[in-house]
Structure 1
């Protein structure tokens, strides 16, 4: 059984450079906002690292900002989009395991953290889809 034909307007939207930019912007937005917030409140960024139990919180805060900023910039490149998507996906996976460990909680907090964890899994899936789509478009 073959797939249903794709309507022309859907094909045009999917191939639109504007839509590709909007997808990248949507995925980059929370990370870019985090970079701006952390740079605007460096003591808060360090305190966040301390609260999560990291040693060397100044280095962790700096590495977080660098990873997020570089990943965002790379998302908007054609040749290295996959690298930016990969960086932000791995960062998101690690941060989610540390900051949203719902399996250690109970009650309403467990449910709230589980929902946040699964939302982050969806973001990771978005990065994977973006990397695949950009790679395919480069191969064309």
Structure 2
């Protein structure tokens, strides 16, 4: 793998993690939602990644791309609140299926992955600059 492929791989990972962070932000913002745009409780969004080849033929390096954003299949969170106007006939209100603890963990993981790829790019840049400096001295 050439040093230039490092930039492609890291950039693809940063883009994917950015989409993951956006999904987490949307989930967190709607954690206590009762109704979404379609009239049902908000459903948590999950980002699906896929490895994708980078570089030319014969290269073994792989990046990452987002293949889709899917809704969580977890059931809605039911809360007993008979005074709520959104309550059903039994007095339960269906809230979003967002698990705040899982989303915070997702946010930390995505943020660290993004930061790690920034560091990889910075290190590759430093190596290239150092290589150019060595070439100028000789």
Q: TM-score, normalised by structure 2?
A: 0.38
* Higher strand proportion (structure 1 or 2): 2
Q: TM-score, normalised by structure 1?
A: 0.37
> Which of these two proteins has the greater Rg computed from alpha carbons?
2
Q: Which has the higher contact order (CA 8 A, sep 6+)?
A: 2
